Structure 1
Amino acid sequence: MTRKILPWLILGFFIAIILLNWFIQSPYVQRKFYPLKYKNEIIRFSLEYELDPYLVMSIIWVESKFKPDARSGKNARGLMQIIPRTGQWIADQIGLSLYEDDMLYDPKTNIMFGCWYLAYLLKVFDGDVELALASYNGGMGNVMKWLKDDRYSDDGKTLKNIPFKETSDYLERIQQAYKQYKKLYKI
C-alpha cells in the first residue's frame, strides 16, 4: 500500500514546490517585496535632477524599504537615509534657509534632497553610477582615496574593487533592486 502512495506523495511534493515558486515569482507577490510608494515624488525629482527613477526607487528600497521614519545607527534619516550634516549641506546648496534635521523624515523633502545629492555625485564622478552610488553609501572622500590607490583602481577613474564590504554589498543590492523595479513597474 505505501509503495503505491509514495510516488504520488513525491509527485505532490514537487507540484507544490513548483506552484509555490510560481506564486512567489508572480508580479503580485513581487510587488509586496518591492513596493512603490511616493511614486509622484520619485518621478518629479528624478525628472528635475535628470535621474533614472528606477535607480531612485532602488536606493530608497535598499536604504529604508520605503519607511519614511527609518533611522540608521549612524543617524541617517528618512527614505533615502540622509545624515543630518549632509542634509544641512544640501539645504545650504539649494538655498533652503529654514532647515531642521527632522525635515529628513518628510518623504517629499527627503526624496528631493536625496535626488539632488545623487545628481551632485553623478556630476562629480562624470556620470559614473557605480562611483556615485559607492559615494552615496561609503562617502565621497573614501571613493576619492580609493581612486588614487592602485590597490583599488588601475586608472584613477574606475574601481576594480571596493575595500568596504558594506559598500560592495550595497552596490549589489542596488543592482538587484533595480532589475526588480524595472521588471515590475512601468513608468
Structure 2
Amino acid sequence: MLNMVRWLGWGTTLAVAALVAMAVLYAAYPVPMAALIQREARACGLDPLLVAAVIRRESGFEPRAVSSRGARGLMQLMPETGAWAASRLGIEGFHPDRLFEPEVNLRLGCWYLAYLLDRFGGDPVAALAAYNGGEGTVADWMARGHWHPAQGPGEIPFPETRHFVAGVLRDYRVYRWLYRHLPAVWGRVEQLAAAGTAAVEERLGR
C-alpha cells in the first residue's frame, strides 16, 4: 500500500480504491432487467429502485425462485395473490406458472405494491410490512395498537417481516446512493483514476 502511495500519491490512490469499492458495490446491488423494471414500476407510479430493492430481498433477481411457502418469481408472489392481482388488472388466462415470467411477475408485483401503498396512505414501511406479512395482518396490528408505521420497522411484531422491511429499506438507500447520487461525483473519480494510470505508465516509461 505504501509503495502504491509513493507511486501515485494519496489522492489518486484513494480514487483507485474508491473505484474498486464501487465496483464491488455495483456487483452486490445490480439491476438486471433494468428497462423492464423501470417500465412496470413507473406504470404503477413506483420508484424503480424501490422495486429493485424488493426484488433483491425477495428473490435475488432469480425469475424461477420459489419460497418454502410457495411464493414465486422475481417479486415472490403467492399464486392466490397473483390470481387476485391479475383479475383486478383484467389479465385473462392466469396460471400460477406465469409468475415465473419476469414481465408478468413484475406487472402483478408492482401493481400489488402500489395497491398496498395506497391502502396504507403512501407509507412505505406499512406497505412493505403488508407485502411480506399480509395486508390483513398489518391492518389488525394497527387497529389493535400493536404496531404503527411511525414506530419504524424495528418494532414490527413478526421477526421475518421486521427483517424484510428493514432490509428492503436499507437496500433502497444503497440503490439510490449508487444509481442516483454517486453518478454526480463519478466523473471526478474516474478522472482521478485515469490520472493515476497515466502517472504509472509515465513512470514505467510507456
Trace 1:149-164 onto structure 2 (pairs within 5 A).
149-153=144-148, 158-159=150-151, 161-164=155-158
Cα deviation, residue 159, structure 1: 4.8
User: Please, which runs of 5 or more residues in structure 1 have no aligned partner?
Assistant: 1-7, 9-18
| % identical equivalent positions | 39
Q: Hey, what's the Cα distance between the residues in 2 that align with 1:23 and 1:49?
A: 36
Q: Which residue of 2 aligns with 1:68?
A: 63
Q: Is the aligned partner of 1:38 residue 2:33?
A: yes
Relative to its length, the structure with more helix (as a share) is 2
Q: Which residue of 1 aligns with 2:74?
A: 79
Q: Hey, what's the Cα distance between the residues in 1 that align with 2:34 and 2:126?
A: 25
Trace 1:118-133 onto structure 2 (pairs within 5 A).
118-133=113-128
Q: Which stretches of structure 1, 4 residues or longer, exceed 3 Å deviation after superposition?
A: 22-25, 157-160
Cα deviation, residue 38, structure 1: 1.0
SS in 2 for 1:26: helix
The alignment's TM-score, normalised by the length of structure 2, stands at 0.75
Trace 1:6-155 onto structure 2 (pairs within 5 A).
22=17, 26-153=21-148
Cα distance, 1:24–1:164 mapped onto 2, change above 3 Å: farther
Q: Is the aligned partner of 1:175 residue 2:169?
A: yes
> Which structure has the higher relative contact order (CA within 8 Å, separation 6+)?
2
Cα deviation, residue 150, structure 1: 2.2
1:71–1:81 contact (8 Å) kept in structure 2: yes
User: Please, which runs of 5 or more residues in structure 2 have no aligned partner?
Assistant: 3-13, 184-206
2:85–2:112 contact (8 Å) kept in structure 1: yes
Q: CA RMSD in A?
A: 2.1
Q: Hey, what's the Cα distance between the residues in 2 that align with 1:163 and 1:72?
A: 21
